[in-house]
Chain A
Amino acid sequence: MLTVVLIILPLLFALPLFAFRKEKLIKRVALVIALIEFGVAVAAFIQYKTSCHCQLLFSAHWFGSSGITLKFGMDGISLLLVMLTTLLVPVIILSSFRHSYKKPSAFYGLILVMEMALVGVFTAFDGLIFYIFWEMALIPAYFICAVWGGNDKIRITFKFFIYTFTGSLFMLVALIYVYFRTPLPHSFDLFALYNATLSPAGQTWVFLALFFAFAIKMPVFPFHTWQPDTYTGSPGPGTMLLSGIMLKMGIYGVIRLMIPLCREALQQFGTIAVILSVIGIVYASLIAIRQDDMKRLVAYSSIAHAGLMAAGVFILNIKALEGAVIQMISHGINIVGLFIMIEFIQERVNTRKISELGGIAIKAPRLAIFFMILLLGSIALPLTNGFIGEFLLLLGLFEYNIVFAVIAGLAMIFSAVYMLWMYQRTMLGKVNALTENITDLSVPETLALVPLVIMIFWIGIFPGMFLQTIDMDILKILFYSH
Chain B
Amino acid sequence: MAPIISLSVLGVLVLFFGILKKKSLLLPLILAGLLITLILTIPEWNTFRSYYNDMLMADNYAVAFNTVMILSTLFIFSFAGHYYKSVERPLDDIYAIMIFALAGAVMMTSYGNLIILFLGIETLSIALYVLAGSHKEAITSNEATLKYFLMGSFISGFLLFGIALIYGSAHSFNLKEIAEFVSLHSGHLPPMFIAGLFLFIAGLSFKIAIVPFHFWAPDVYEGTPTLLTAFMASVVKTASIVALFRFFSIVFAGNREIWEPTLVILSILTILIGNLTGLYQPGLKRMLAYSSISHSGYMMLAVIAFSSRSANALLFYTLSYSIATILAFAILMLIRESKGNDFFTSMNGLAKKNPLEAFCLTIAMLSLTGIPPLAGFMAKFFLFAAAVEQGYTGLVIIAILGSAISAVYYFKPIIAMYFKEGEEIQLKAGRLFKIIIGTLTLLILAIGLFPFLFSGLI
- Chain A residues with CB under 8 Å of chain B are 62-66, 128, 131-132, 135-136, 138-139, 143, 146-147, 153-154, 158, 161-162, 165-166, 169-170, 172-173, 176-177, 179-180, 205
Contact = CB atoms under 8 A, between A and B. Distances in A.
Nearest to B451: A63
- Main secondary structure on chain A at its contact with chain B? helix
Contacts of B393: 173, 177, 205
B419 interface: yes
A165 B452 CA distance: 25
B453 to A, nearest CB: 10
B366 interface: yes
Given A146-B415, A147-B418, 9 more contacts: A63-B452, A65-B455, A66-B456, A132-B373, A146-B419, A162-B407, A166-B404, A176-B396, A177-B393
A146 B419 CA distance: 7
Nearest to A157: B419
Contacts of A131: 372
Contacts of B388: 173, 176-177, 179-180
Contact of B389 (A64, A165, A180): A180
Contact of A173 (B372, B373, B384): B384
Interface in B220-240: none
B2 interface: no
B400 A176 contact: no
Contacts of A128: 381
Nearest to A134: B372
- Main secondary structure on chain B at its contact with chain A? helix
Interface of B: 366, 369, 371-373, 377, 381, 384-385, 388-389, 393, 396-397, 400-401, 403-404, 407-408, 411, 415, 418-420, 451-452, 455-456
B419 A179 contact: no
Contact of B415 (A64, A158, A165): A158
Given A63-B451, A172-B381, A176-B384, A161 B407 contact: yes
A172 B400 contact: yes
A154 B419 contact: yes
Nearest to B397: A173
A205 B404 CA distance: 19
B385 A179 contact: yes
Contacts of A138: 371
Contacts of A177: 388, 393
A62 B452 contact: yes
B95 to A, nearest CB: 39
B371 A139 contact: yes
A153 B419 contact: yes
A41 B382 CA distance: 34
A93 to B, nearest CB: 22
A165 B408 CA distance: 11
Nearest to B391: A180
Contact of A169 (B400, B411, B418, B452): B400
Given A172-B400, A173-B384, A177-B388, A154 B420 contact: yes
B373 A136 contact: yes
Contacts of A180: 385, 388-389
A232 B381 CA distance: 34
User: Nearest 8 pairs between A and B by C-beta?
Assistant: A132-B372, A166-B404, A169-B400, A135-B372, A176-B388, A65-B456, A176-B385, A63-B452
A84 to B, nearest CB: 24
**Interface-central residue, A128, A131, A161, A177, by most chain B CB under 10 Å:** A177
Contacts of A147: 418-419
Given A135-B371, A179-B385, A173 B396 contact: yes
Contacts of B418: 143, 146-147
Contacts of A139: 366, 371
Contacts of A153: 419
B404 A169 contact: yes
Contacts of B404: 162, 165-166, 169
22 contacts: A63-B455, A64-B452, A65-B456, A132-B373, A139-B371, A143-B418, A154-B415, A158-B408, A158-B415, A161-B407, A162-B408, A169-B403, A170-B400, A172-B381, A173-B384, A173-B388, A173-B397, A173-B400, A176-B385, A177-B393, A179-B385, A180-B388
Contacts of A170: 397, 400
Contacts of B451: 63
A158 B420 CA distance: 13
A240 B116 CA distance: 62
A428 B188 CA distance: 87
A166 B404 CA distance: 5
Contacts of A161: 407, 411
Contacts of A179: 385, 388
Contact of B384 (A62, A154, A162, A172): A172
A65 B373 CA distance: 19
A408 B96 CA distance: 74
A245 B404 CA distance: 24
B271 to A, nearest CB: 13
Contacts of A158: 408, 411, 415
A166 B418 CA distance: 23
Contact of A132 (B377, B397, B403): B377
A64 B404 CA distance: 29
A66 B452 CA distance: 9
